[in-house]
Structure 1
């Protein structure tokens, strides 16, 4: 930890009013810390966690902590409250879900225990679900005794905020971004809003002139691991959620400054395969860019873990529809490494945009075009797979896959590392064809998954630098005669 980090943490912990209210009515863990704890924001997250969607979606609500179990134990008896049906959103209703959760930050409890708006803020224009359901929200608070639950867990929230600030190296983040992009004159301050229940959908918004990031906590904190027990890889990876929201405050204005150049060289229709941002080339570009800048950040501050952490998040970004993330990130890193002395990201921005324009005409997504055993039923458990790709691939001497076996109503999986020595791995036709041997489970469905995020050590990619789509799969059934 740097001296500046330690200073901020000390100020955070020694604040005489650790959870006092500022003039807007928001609960704040000390004015010297960027971390914000909001009682109404936590209220909204608890409400959403109790809906049928919140209980069943695998990613929306974080369930790893003992705190989540406390929430369920305390509030499940009120599962029939009409508010929970009213705000039972879905993935398709993500704007309503995000707005209900995030807009709650604009509200606070007044002296009469009423929930009132303090800030004229809405996360998504055209959506106002928290305020529209305010009567039901207040009834939920009274019926469940929410405020007592919140007070009882205040030490936990404070400790979590402290651990989060320690882990994020926020001063270094800010210093890196201000060095590379310059200070942002339109932003008077920065804030980070946290809840242990948020599982996905980080977002950056301007709230009353404050650049505010609503973020997901790192996995190691959500599983109640102490910061001191986290590895460099865990800490580096855990900074991703905050960094890629915080840097929107720097990337977006610079992209807008070069709007005409982006529009001339970057067409979302050619870079985006259904992310939800594809209607706006600048929005697609900014999502790519914020994650690519993160790669440069981890290379600077976490060099030993950077390669794996960047690969994991690149594959994750590709699952979102940003299919050319590996290429985009590589192009930025290459240009940045060869920049002139004294140049920053802001300086090379125009050259990078033009560089993407040169790549755009030849973009293509590599796919598994054919496989001799795809969707086949065989009798031998020892099988030789011959895979044909749609284009030439990098001929890796070794790569991994996940073998998923489905038998007797149960599923198990194993990570396998293929090589010439272990599985007869061999490439041909300039990298368009690869073959290897595998032992399959008999009387079972065997699925092979390639470029599996978080478990892949070497991603399969084309000679153009574009990854095979994550979770690309081949299915083969074995029905043994024995």
Structure 2
């Protein structure tokens, strides 16, 4: 066979299909970019290295690099103008931060962060600031040390680069800020405070009980949790589920949440402690819960779409949850917490605990039909023995109820 014929065959069977496939991908991306992004994320989902200390356990942390970046974010105008981004629970620590760092508010790192955050601080920019911070340590000389545990495919980074805070571009700037502020000295001086917050967190949050409840009632399963916060973290929480270690096959989930409330635990009565624990546990639970509810909701996506005529009929939020499925998932995650509360807390306090959550969802978060939804979910769960309760068996009934609401007799 001649060289010419071989080249023609290669073009016909190899090069041409590649070109056609590439064109199809490009056209699909132009028509439906969200679909292609979702496919890319699924195919190239980040992986992690899970240290032995995390295996089959959870760990509560205030990582050094995470804290540096949160302090830097707290100096931006965007953070300072939004009470949901900075916690009000730690006034003394916030004053310490202002006293030590405010004179550096014009540092170039702060301007870069402001430029990134200002258009939409609730976009993927802030979560990626959190995620990628865990790939770094800072030594006592304020030098950055790369310690990659969060492995992201370079193609995924290239595809989403404009939506990320890409640390590789800003390492020198971050290190300069750490050195200029002598961040390591500040962090070391507050070690006892950080440890107290971690201890209080563990005492006030029923982490293991929550984890066991969710694993027993959903099909998803995770081998470990990293629970990460800064004393400055406000109400904007997020989670990154199902990060696999390619060496061991284990799965780890990261939870980014707020610091515990500023209270003296020893001064509380038994009932006061239980109610406060329920409030704080709910904060973690409803973030952890997304890692179980969301995958289950995906299997009911068509039914969810047909059961909610307009998400704004259920959700009067001014930002976020601007779809039927995200609105439903928020209803469901908080509703599942009520089932957890019914099983976990004392008979004396459980009605109070559930009512507190309902009021907060309706009045503060503007999920206006949550109380009715929640009561129906509880009614449905009451028909199932606690040991046999699996939420996939409730979805069809709660969605049927939503289709008829507010006229359940029709």
TM-score by length of 2: 0.72
Q: Distance in 2 between matches of 1:72 and 1:130?
A: 26
Matches within 5 A, 1:267-306: 267=309, 268-274=311-317, 276-303=319-346, 304-306=348-350
- Deviation of the 1:213 alpha carbon: 1.1
Aligned to 1:353: 399
- Deviation of the 1:32 alpha carbon: 4.8
Aligned to 1:153: 190
Aligned to 1:199: 234
Aligned to 1:102: 130
Aligned to 1:138: 175
- Deviation of the 1:76 alpha carbon: 1.9
Is the 8 Å Cα contact of residues 317 and 325 (structure 1) preserved in structure 2?
A: yes
Aligned to 1:211: 253
- Deviation of the 1:290 alpha carbon: 0.4
Matches within 5 A, 1:316-335: 316-318=360-362, 319-335=364-380
CA deviations over 1:180-237 (Å, ceiling 9, x no partner): 224x24x332221121110111111124541111111232xxx2x2333342221111
* 1:129 aligns with one of 150, 165, 169: 165
Aligned to 1:116: 146
Aligned to 1:473: none
The alignment status of 1:227 with 2:265, answered yes or no, reads yes
Matches within 5 A, 1:332-481: 332-339=377-384, 342-344=387-389, 345-359=391-405, 362=407
Q: Secondary structure in 1 aligned to 2:106?
A: coil
User: Larger strand proportion, structure 1 or 2?
Assistant: 1
Q: Distance in 1 between matches of 2:206 and 2:317?
A: 33
Is the 8 Å Cα contact of residues 62 and 228 (structure 2) preserved in structure 1?
A: yes
CA RMSD of aligned residues (A): 3.4
CA deviations over 1:358-416 (Å, ceiling 9, x no partner): 226x59xxxxxxxxxxxxxxxxxxxxxxxxxxxxxxxxxxxxxxxxxxxxxxxxxxxxx
Query: Aligned pair in 2 of structure 1 residues 166, 62: CA closer, same or farther (>3 Å)?
Result: same
Query: Aligned pair in 2 of structure 1 residues 117, 341: CA closer, same or farther (>3 Å)?
Result: closer
- Deviation of the 1:153 alpha carbon: 1.8
Query: Number of matched residues?
Result: 336
Q: Distance in 1 between matches of 2:132 and 2:386?
A: 46
Q: Distance in 2 between matches of 1:76 and 1:104?
A: 24
CA deviations over 1:432-470 (Å, ceiling 9, x no partner): xxxxxxxxxxxxxxxxxxxxxxxxxxxxxxxxxxxxxxx
- Deviation of the 1:145 alpha carbon: 0.9
Query: Aligned pair in 2 of structure 1 residues 29, 352: CA closer, same or farther (>3 Å)?
Result: closer
Q: Distance in 2 between matches of 1:341 and 1:147?
A: 49
Structure 1 range deviating more: 241-250 or 316-325:
316-325
Is the 8 Å Cα contact of residues 163 and 226 (structure 1) preserved in structure 2?
A: no
Is the 8 Å Cα contact of residues 59 and 200 (structure 1) preserved in structure 2?
A: yes
The structure, 1 or 2, with the larger RCO (C-alpha pairs under 8 Å, 6+ apart) is: 2
Q: Distance in 1 between matches of 2:196 and 2:113?
A: 30
Query: Aligned pair in 2 of structure 1 residues 315, 115: CA closer, same or farther (>3 Å)?
Result: farther
Q: Distance in 2 between matches of 1:257 and 1:84?
A: 42
CA deviations over 1:105-155 (Å, ceiling 9, x no partner): 332127792253611359995521252443322211111111222122222
Aligned to 1:394: none
Q: Distance in 2 between matches of 1:214 and 1:205?
A: 9
- Deviation of the 1:244 alpha carbon: 0.2
Q: Distance in 2 between matches of 1:203 and 1:54?
A: 17
Q: Distance in 2 between matches of 1:29 and 1:163?
A: 20
Query: Aligned pair in 2 of structure 1 residues 192, 95: CA closer, same or farther (>3 Å)?
Result: same
* 1:51 aligns with one of 76, 85, 96: 76
- Deviation of the 1:171 alpha carbon: 1.4
Q: Secondary structure in 1 aligned to 2:287?
A: helix
Q: Distance in 1 between matches of 2:235 and 2:349?
A: 23
Aligned to 1:73: 99
Is the 8 Å Cα contact of residues 44 and 104 (structure 1) preserved in structure 2?
A: no
Is the 8 Å Cα contact of residues 79 and 86 (structure 2) preserved in structure 1?
A: yes
